[in-house]
Amino acid sequence: MGPDQDAERAANVVRAYQLHGQRWSSREIAQELGVSHTTVRRWIEEYRQAAEWSEVAERAGRRARMVEFLNELARRGVTALEGDPERDIEPQPYEKVVPALMRVVSEINRVEGNYAPVRVATEDDRRPPDPALIAAMREEAARASALDEAETRRELGQ
């Protein structure tokens, strides 16, 4: 598939999902797009998986930033407890620092999932989504956002 075909296919996947959201049947969508109803079903599932992958990646990025921030707080807490003569930081009282440090460590464990219940490992046979599909999804979201903004402005009389 060439770049044009990838973009067209991605646009069709997004359109199929939109029509599915409007309660169109797979056969109606297939007729509209000129493909088989099984292709439409596969595209809808592909879209759902792409959205899930996108959300998982976003959450992983947020989690990584949170762990980095919490680790920095933990380092500062240890520095406050022990002091740092090179930076002219006096040691702080144990009663003041340790409870806060314990909360930070507890939060790190929670965010990293160390307190999560044990799960049975399963094989994940999903594959990452097509980049063209992700791009088409983002374009559609931006277009919808722009339309919402324009409608809001029109309602406010601007």
Asked, for residue 56, whether it belongs to a domain, the answer is: yes
Asked, for residue 134, whether it belongs to a domain, the answer is: no
Asked, for residue 65, whether it belongs to a domain, the answer is: yes
What is the 8-class DSSP label of residue 85?
A: G
pLDDT at 135: 77
Asked, for residue 149, whether it belongs to a domain, the answer is: no
Asked, for residue 110, whether it belongs to a domain, the answer is: yes
The model's pTM is: 0.46
Burial of 147 (0-12, 13-18, 19+ CB in 10 A): exposed
The answer to whether the beta carbons of residues 125 and 84 sit under 8 Å apart is no
Asked, for residue 38, whether it belongs to a domain, the answer is: yes
Asked, for residue 14, whether it belongs to a domain, the answer is: yes
Query: How many structural domains are present in the chain?
Result: 1
Range of the domain at 50: 7-115
Asked, for residue 144, whether it belongs to a domain, the answer is: no
How long, in residues, is the chain?
A: 158
3-state SS assignment for residue 89: strand
pLDDT at 119: 53
pLDDT in tens, 88-105: 778 777 777 777 777 777
